[in-house]
Amino acid sequence: MREPILVLGKYEILDAVGSGGMATVYRGRVAGPMGFEKPVAIKVLHDDAAADEEVVRMFIDEARIGARLSHPNIASVLDFGEADGRYFMAMEYVDGVSLAALMKHLAKGRKARPLEQAVAVHVATCVLRALAYAHAAAGPDGKPLGVVHRDVSPQNILLDRSGIVKLCDFG
* Residue-range domain boundaries for the chain: 6-92, 96-167
Q: How far apart are CA 9 and CA 85, in angstroms?
A: 11
Count of other CB atoms within 10 angstroms of residue 78: 19
- Nearest alpha carbon to residue 77 among 34, 37, 129, 41: 41
pTM, 2 dp: 0.90
Provide the residue count of the chain: 171
Q: What is the pLDDT of residue 1?
A: 58
CA nearest to 39, candidates 13, 59, 18, 63 = 13
What is the per-residue pLDDT for 3? 73
Locate the DSSP E strands across 118-163.
Answer: 157-160
Residues annotated as catalytic are: 151
pLDDT at 99: 98
Does the domain made of 96-167 have the CATH classification 1.10.510.10?
Answer: yes
**H-helix or E-strand spanning residue 61:** helix 53-68
Q: Which CATH class is domain 6-92?
A: alpha beta
Going residue by residue through the chain (171 aa), what tens digit of pLDDT does each one get? 567 678 898 999 999 998 888 999 999 999 888 888 999 999 999 999 999 999 999 999 999 999 999 999 999 999 999 998 899 999 999 999 999 999 999 999 788 899 999 999 999 999 999 999 999 999 899 999 899 998 999 999 999 999 999 999 987
* Distance separating alpha carbons of residues 161 and 105, to the nearest angstrom: 15
Q: Tell me, what's the pLDDT at 33?
A: 84
Do 6-92 and 96-167 have matching folds? no
Q: Please give the Cα distance from 105 to 134 (Å, whole number).
A: 30
- Predicted local confidence at residue 7, as pLDDT: 87
